[in-house]
Structure 1
Amino acid sequence: DDSRLQMPRNLVAALIRMENSRSHQDLRLVIRELIDWLQLPEHTKIRRSFTVFLRGVLLPKRIPDKDFSTYEDLLEVDTMLAEKVRDWTRAWEKEGLRKGIHRGRREGLERGLQRGIKQGKQEGREKGLIQTAIRMLEKDMELAVIVDITGLPLEKIKDISENREKYAAELES
């Protein structure tokens, strides 16, 4: 980005950018700029002041579960943030994977249940039609009438007629 290359080395602007940074990557960008700007030995106090501000004010608000008292230099803070971002990324990936697996299982169970219900309804309808066909056959009704009323194919009605006991036993189980 050309605007970043031409940006003046304004320490106040860097401080404001740190406070307004929305992500740890944005904060690290400002810290790395400061590290680059403040390399000379005469900048040691300014570097130290930024480090004190980061470890005492800004970072505890952003990362409350971490102790920053041991950080003495901007480079240490930058390294810690890089590690923290990697840790968070791994944690987010694990959490995402866990949620994905949970969601997949839940959706799979829901789909399986829906299919099971649909299949159960279909089987129930079919059993009801077979039971109706058996009763009609017991009353010696014509096959064409049974086909017309039940909607079952003629071949199925013939099979039911020839194997009534088998179908009756299946209906009872």
Structure 2
Amino acid sequence: RGYFVWTLLDNLEWAQGTRPRFGLLYVDFATQRRTAKGSAAFFAQLSESHSFTYTPSECNASTPVGSMFVSEAGQLQRLVNASAEQRQQRQQSGGGTTPASVRRAIMSRASRLASLADAQARHVANDGDFKSMRVWLGKASKMRTFVERQRKLLSRQAVAAGGG
């Protein structure tokens, strides 16, 4: 499944804890117990996807983005609520679905939310909070599912507009 290569001096430092270690694991030098860091989760995701799609700023897990997520989620909620009200008015006055431009704006906001949730997951994983990491990854997954559903509705809407 993989291997590490290190020198004899690295091995001594690993065992004795003479300086901070960087990498995928935290090591309790007294017991030699290893605990995966957030970078291990990031590396696993990178290995599974076989691609590196993050910019350097997205890879930086030192900054929490939870507050940006909350702000963006509020903006998305306002956009969704407004589109629902508009759709209800259009249906009462004779029909029509959510305009494609509004649906694209919703998709854009939801995609950004998924990215922010991924970034927050990396941040909390880097701090060793893997339970929170799973919560944030779940939020990101839900947002991606939402975006995909909106994309399908948009394509159906385009087919109906072109075919009818």
User: Which TM-score bucket, shorter chain as reference?
Assistant: 0.3 to 0.5
Larger radius of gyration: 1
| TM norm structure 1 | 0.32
TM norm structure 2? 0.34
Give the helix-richer structure, 1 or 2.
Answer: 1
Bigger relative contact order (CA 8 A; separation at least 6): 2
